[in-house]
Amino acid sequence: MDEGSQGTITISTMVLNTIARLTTLNVPGVARMGNNGQLIQTNSGTIVKVVNGKVKADIYIVVRSDTNFYETGQLIQREVARSIKEIVGMDVQAINVYIQDVEYPATTVDPNPTD
């Protein structure tokens, strides 16, 4: 323990999941969170683990069709790592981004087409 420390601080992985999810949703080009493959959707597109005191996150997203997928993924990696470091002070081991689908803008059909 550090001098002046009065005990331990434990941060729930749910807190880390929330930080990862909210940060991801604020990245331009992200349409919504994807499916993390778990039956119970408690994490809403994220799976965060702490391994040897470092954070590892798997983030599943749906991107907008008008965005550069690679750049969006890189920006998510940078922003999530920065958020976790700044908010909870933990080091990040890896941020893995999985682009699961593409969202295209809804097309409108003119109910009164002109010939």
pLDDT tens digit string along 36-85? 776 555 558 999 999 999 999 999 999 999 999 999 999 999 999 999 99
Among residues 25, 69, 68, 71, the alpha carbon closest in space to that of 46 is found at 25
pLDDT band, residue 6 (cuts 50/70/90): confident
Residue with tokens 């434990």: 10
Residue 81 burial by CB count (10 A; 0-12/13-18/19+): exposed, middle or buried?
Answer: buried
CATH number for domain 13-103, candidates 3.90.400.10, 3.40.640.10, 3.30.70.1350, 3.30.230.10:
3.30.70.1350
pTM: 0.83
List, in order, residues 6 or more apart from 78 with CB less than 8 Å away: none
